[in-house]
Amino acid sequence: MKILIVDDEPSVVELISMVLSRAGFEAVTAATSPDALRQLHKAQPDLAILDVNLGVWDGFELLKEIRRASQMPIIMLSGRDGEDDKVRGLELGADDYQTKPVSPRELLARVRAHLRKHGYAGDESPQIKTLFEVGPLTLNLDQYSATKDGRELKLTPTEFKLLHCLMAQPAVVVRNRDLLREVWGYDDLSDLNLVRTTVHRLRRKLDDDPNNPTLLHTIPGVGIMLKVA
């Protein structure tokens, strides 16, 4: 199934595309409303994810144009969480509205839910990926195991969840708020010490020299990236 992603932030498009691709979807992208309309007719997507802020021709105008041609599910994204924007989007025909920063796990769940609601369930549903390999690291969700160079890593449940979150998005900076939401279930940035402490423990188990990490890289004030040199 094809998902149309319309956003003028390359980092957001890259993150969402990667998450959807890993879940078995085909990501089709556009940075402007005219590009999105061309992709709509060319690719015939099954669902669209639209950013509200697209410059001169915003996401609401694009939403109206798409609704004239298609009844596919549409999820709106916005950096604003005001009620007026949400109401406007839903009244114009959007099926859902999610506030940035995007939680990849939540967005993927919303995509699947809306596709099921519109009759795309059954044998065509994407399979959930359970095996991740990044450089010397392997993580298996079915077996609940993680190894480095074939050697088993003794991880706590929280460390395992954190490593899974990072291995699912290799070479991408996963923001601190998203890590808190994915691993701990909430996104209160006052609890960033949880992320720092867990990353420190995990780094000691992954890197030969934690003071000169080669796998887990901290981007101060932003988040964590798993990257193999």
Burial status of residue 66 (CB atoms within 10 A of its CB: 0-12, 13-18, 19 or more): buried
Structure confidence at residue 184 (pLDDT):
81
Strand order through the sheet with 174-175:
174-175, 223-226, 216-219
Structure confidence at residue 224 (pLDDT):
93
Structure confidence at residue 92 (pLDDT):
83
**Do strands 137-140 and 145-148 pair parallel, antiparallel, or not at all (unpaired)?**
antiparallel
Q: Which fold has domain 131-226?
A: Arc Repressor Mutant, subunit A (1.10.10)
Domain boundaries, the chain: 2-124, 131-226
What would the two tokens of residue 146 be?
């993680």
pLDDT tens digits, the chain, 229 residues: what are they?
899 999 888 888 888 998 898 888 999 999 888 888 888 888 889 999 998 887 666 788 888 888 888 888 999 988 766 677 778 888 888 889 888 888 888 899 999 988 888 766 444 444 456 789 999 999 998 788 999 999 999 999 889 989 998 998 888 888 888 888 778 876 666 778 888 999 999 999 998 787 888 899 999 989 999 988 6
Structure confidence at residue 122 (pLDDT):
40
**Do strands 2-6 and 26-30 pair parallel, antiparallel, or not at all (unpaired)?**
parallel
Distance between CA 154 and CA 164 in Å, rounded? 14
Structure confidence at residue 74 (pLDDT):
93
Structure confidence at residue 5 (pLDDT):
94
Q: Which fold has domain 2-124?
A: Rossmann fold (3.40.50)
CB atoms within 10 A of CB 202: 24
Burial status of residue 228 (CB atoms within 10 A of its CB: 0-12, 13-18, 19 or more): exposed
Strand, helix or coil for residue 49: strand
Distance between CA 228 and CA 61 in Å, rounded? 42
Distance between CA 184 and CA 180 in Å, rounded? 5
Distance between CA 148 and CA 227 in Å, rounded? 14
- For every residue of 185-210, which 3-state class applies, written as one string? CCCCHHHHHHHHHHHHHHHHHHCCCC
